[in-house]
Amino acid sequence: MTLMKSIPCDIVLLPEVALANRAFSASQKLAQFGSLFVLEDGKFYPHMSLYMFQLNTDDISKVEEVLQQIANGFSAVSAEANRYFLGQGHAEGYLDPEFIASDELHAIQNAVVEAVNPVRAGMREKDVVKMKEATGVKLENFKKYGYPSIGELFRPHMTLTRLDGRKPEALDVLPDISEFDGVFDGIGLFEMGDNGTCIRKVLEFPLSLTK
């Protein structure tokens, strides 16, 4: 009997070209501080995570169907960046522009989670470990969805890099946070690598409605 292969996946919003280019530029500037990865077109994709999960490769076609439906039903999303986040603890070294969790962002995340949760093949190994320490809403999200950052715990962000330690001085080379205000005009399914990176595009659809 052949075992089904599963891969760690992320369903994400994809930034318009201008916003992606600003992310590439900022990520390159941060490399001097000890980056574990640098965003690069076609290698490490800039993105806003909506739902991380484990997926059997045989079920990619099911996700393709629901993502196409979601893409047809949502317009491009304008996102307002409101601060930089510099991680510590389990998230040490991550450097992200964070975005206001608008009704539009919550709506598209909810649509993705509702459609994809029944298809997923369990949880990513990293989330299995994190669940052991979770309590409250975080634990409930793990139990229901296999992923914590949903609903009130959704933290829209676009990671620029992960540094090899917490280095506040890296913030000094970044532009004003308003430079990351912009539009996310695509949705995609990606295979994940280390440090939350999106390393392989599996599916991508434009958000087809206009405001």
Q: Taking the model in full, what pTM does it have?
A: 0.94
What is the pLDDT, as a whole number, of residue 209? 62
Helical (H) or strand (E) element with 70: helix 60-73
Q: Identify the pLDDT of residue 156.
A: 98
- Packing angle of the helix pair 60-73, 103-116 (nearest 10 deg): 150
Q: What is the DSSP letter of 175?
A: P
User: 76 and 183 in contact (C-beta within 8 Å)?
Assistant: yes
Q: Are 190 and 16 in contact (CB under 8 A)?
A: no
Which pLDDT does position 8 carry in this prediction? Answer: 95
pLDDT given at position 123: 87
Where exactly are the structural domains of the chain? 7-124+154-206
State whether residue 190 is helix, strand or coil.
strand
**What is the rounded distance in angstroms from the CA atom of residue 20 to the CA atom of residue 39?**
9
Separation CA 105–CA 135 (nearest Å): 25
How many helices (DSSP H) and strands (DSSP E) are in the chain?
5, 8
Contact present, 183 and 56 (Cβ < 8 Å): no
Task: Give the per-residue pLDDT at 89.
Answer: 81
What is the per-residue pLDDT for 91?
A: 87
Per CATH, is 7-124+154-206 categorized as 3.90.1140.10? yes
Q: Which amino acid is at 49?
A: S
**Which DSSP symbol is given to 40?**
B
The reported pLDDT for the residue numbered 2 is 53
For 35, what's the count of Cα atoms within 13 Å in the CB-facing half-sphere?
18
List, run by run, the mean pLDDT of 10-residue segments along the chain (211 residues): 80 97 97 96 96 96 96 96 91 95 98 96 86 92 95 97 94 97 97 95 87 48
